[in-house]
């Protein structure tokens, strides 16, 4: 069994903590494993509502052996921002899916990483997502870190779980936001009407989601905004900005109905990524400039 030591002073529900730590493992699945005694704390069985204490030893079952897949390395160019023996930071382009899924079996970031890193990718998230600790949407550009071994993967995932990783995004939104900065604290859940979408959650449901934003530049009927993620839910920035009536330019799912840029996808860029290196213990921070298509539209808006 794999073991994790809870090193934080604040008490946190074990099901919530593990659902954030283990990418791709749902909270309900974790609750089931807790109920069955497959996940234990300090050698004993606990309920899903158990509050973790500093020093608690969590033991997890080893992942099941993956089935054979047709996932193959592909010689796809990568914009590598940083790389060492433990991890790789890449600047993902628009249109690239992070890992294989239905309808996207090739051309993904994982396919490219398999070619570039060979056998040096962590296996914690299974055969279809080697090295992947976190994701960004297909049409969101910018920084993403992948891990080359399980020790690095656990260390980065731990930082994601306790929200200590720095993640700042640049978004172009509709409407001139009056306030210079603000916070959207709104739980998110899978939409009951469309399971492909996320939506604001009903009271007592969904997962906690917090986005801090500040306006970088005001335009006549738009704004350039920096969004800082406190949590990292699926489509979080897109849902939150739409909720406050400032949807992203080009967003085909949560945007304006008559947005002329929906064929380009949402104008959202992961500009800054910072974390403590799993081997050295040093804080590292990386940045990536806005892609050309984004700066071109900004230029047009500024000149109007």
The proportion of the chain whose per-residue pLDDT surpasses 90, expressed as a percent, equals 62
Q: What is the pLDDT of residue 66?
A: 45
The CB density around residue 239, as the number of other CB atoms within 10 Å, is 25
Average confidence (pLDDT) over 165-169: 97
292 is catalytic: no
Higher-confidence position of 56 and 3: 56
Catalytic residue among 86, 137, 139, 251: 137
Among candidates 152, 156, 113, 117, which has minimal Cα distance to 273? 156
Asked whether the whole model's pTM tops 0.85, one would answer no
- Is the domain 80-162 a CATH 3.30.2350.10 member? yes
Domains 2-60 and 166-266 share a fold: no
Per DSSP, what are the bridge partners of residue 227?
A: 169, 213
CATH topology of domain 166-266: Pseudouridine synthase (3.30.2350)
In three-state secondary structure terms, 172 is: strand
> How far are the Cα atoms of 63, 96, 135, 234, 269 from residue 141, in angstroms, in the given order?
31, 9, 11, 15, 5
pLDDT of the residue at 68:
43
Percentage above 70 pLDDT, the chain: 94
Q: What is the pLDDT of residue 65?
A: 47
Residue boundaries of the structural domains of the chain: 2-60, 80-162, 166-266
Q: In whole numbers, what is the pLDDT of the chain averaged over residues? A: 89
Amino acid 105: pLDDT: 77
Higher pLDDT, 177 or 27: 177
Comparing 53-67, 139-153, 283-297, which segment has the lowest mean pLDDT? 53-67
**Cα of 39 vs its chain's centroid, Å:** 25
Provide the token pair at 136.
């960004």
Specify the CATH number for 2-60; select among 3.10.290.10, 3.40.50.1970, 3.30.1540.10, 3.40.50.2300.
3.10.290.10
DSSP 49-112: TPEE-TT-EEEEPPPPPPPP-----------EEEE-SSEEEEEEPTT--SS-BTTBSSSSHHHH
Alpha-helix runs per DSSP H in the chain: 14-21, 27-35, 109-117, 150-161, 236-243, 292-303
Q: Is the pLDDT assigned to residue 109 strictly greater than 80? A: yes
**DSSP-assigned beta bridge partners for residue 66:** none
């Amino acid at each position: 069994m794999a073991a994790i030591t809870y090193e934080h002073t604040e008490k946190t529900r074990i099901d919530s903590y593990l659902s954030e730590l283990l990418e791709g493992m749902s909270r309900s699945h974790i609750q089931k494993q807790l109920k069955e005694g497959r996940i234990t704390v300090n050698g004993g069985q606990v309920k899903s509502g158990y509050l973790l204490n500093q020093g608690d030893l969590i033991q997890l079952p080893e992942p099941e052996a993956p089935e054979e897949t047709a996932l193959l390395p592909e010689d796809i160019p990568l914009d590598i921002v940083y790389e060492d023996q433990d991890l790789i930071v890449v600047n993902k382009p628009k249109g690239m899916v992070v890992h294989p899924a239905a309808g996207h079996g090739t051309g993904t970031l994982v396919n490219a990483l398999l070619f570039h890193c060979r056998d040096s990718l962590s296996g914690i998230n299974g055969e279809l997502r080697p090295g992947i600790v976190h994701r960004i949407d297909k049409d969101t550009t910018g920084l993403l870190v992948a891990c080359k071994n399980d020790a690095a993967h656990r260390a980065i995932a731990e930082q994601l779980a306790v929200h200590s990783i720095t993640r700042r995004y640049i978004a172009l939104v509709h409407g001139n936001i009056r306030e210079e900065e603000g916070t959207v604290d709104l739980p998110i859940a899978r939409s009951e009407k469309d399971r492909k979408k996320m939506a604001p959650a009903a009271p007592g449901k969904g997962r906690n989601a917090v986005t801090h934003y500040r306006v970088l530049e005001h335009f006549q009927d738009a704004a350039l905004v920096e969004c800082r993620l406190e949590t990292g839910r699926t489509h979080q920035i897109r849902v939150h900005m739409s909720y406050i009536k400032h949807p992203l330019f080009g967003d085909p799912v949560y945007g304006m109905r008559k947005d002329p840029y929906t064929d380009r996808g949402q104008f959202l860029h992961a500009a800054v990524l910072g974390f403590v290196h799993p081997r050295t213990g040093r804080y590292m921070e990386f940045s990536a400039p806005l892609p050309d298509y984004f700066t071109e539209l900004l230029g047009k808006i500024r000149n109007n």
